[in-house]
Amino acid sequence: SSEELTSLNRLKDFLKEDNSALLGLGNTLKGDDSLGVKITKALKDRIALPVFEAGFTPENLSLKNFKGIKRLVVLDASPNISENFKVLNLDEVLSLAPFSTHTSLIFFHFLKRELNLDIIFLLVKAESLEFKESLSSQANIRKKAVENFFLLNFSEKGRV
């Protein structure tokens, strides 16, 4: 849709700046909730951005991981969006609350305040949050689309 294309263009513009990174959230035992982690796992060492897998406890990551980072994209699943994916800033995420199945907003506010990070969220629509390790077929299609977006725009050769 045109709204999804606008979101991806917003994401592409955000990541044009140097010192950007990608952080994936998700519980790998709760179906589509694992989207953020599974996407970052697939992209690690394949794109020209630092990639962090945070699971469902990003606050356990060392602040040293964020040294030199100016912009952070948080990749997460959300059953609360109608689009396949949506890009929101931290304040917009609060207005969508509950935006995800995680309680990590305090941590991201801390990063923004203490490290002066510019943070946006790439939310990917979740269909099923059942206790299982596999993704729903719809979420798997969305996962591949997001991976392809990053590989096309941020691979070593294709860095914008």
Each residue's pLDDT, cut to its tens digit, for the chain (160 residues) gives: 788 888 888 899 999 878 999 999 988 888 888 899 999 999 999 999 999 988 777 777 777 888 899 999 999 998 888 899 999 998 888 776 654 545 577 888 888 898 999 999 999 999 988 888 889 999 999 999 999 999 999 986 544 4
SS (H, E, C) 89-157: EHHHHHHHCCCCCCCCHHHHHHHHHHHCCEEEEEEEECCCCCCECCCCHHHHHHHHHHHHHHHHHHCCC
Residue with tokens 């390790």: 133
* Burial label, 10 (beta-carbon count in 10 A; 0-12, 13-18, 19+): middle
How is residue 2 written in tokens? 């045109």
Residue of 3, 8, 1 lying closest to 120 (CA atoms): 8
Give residue 101's pLDDT. Answer: 46
Side chain identity, residue 154: F
The answer to whether the predicted template modeling score (pTM) of the entire model surpasses 0.85 is yes
- Domain 2-154, classified CATH 3.40.50.1450, yes or no: yes
Residue of 77, 88, 81, 64 lying closest to 32 (CA atoms): 77
Distance from C-alpha of 15 to C-alpha of 30, rounded to nearest angstrom: 29
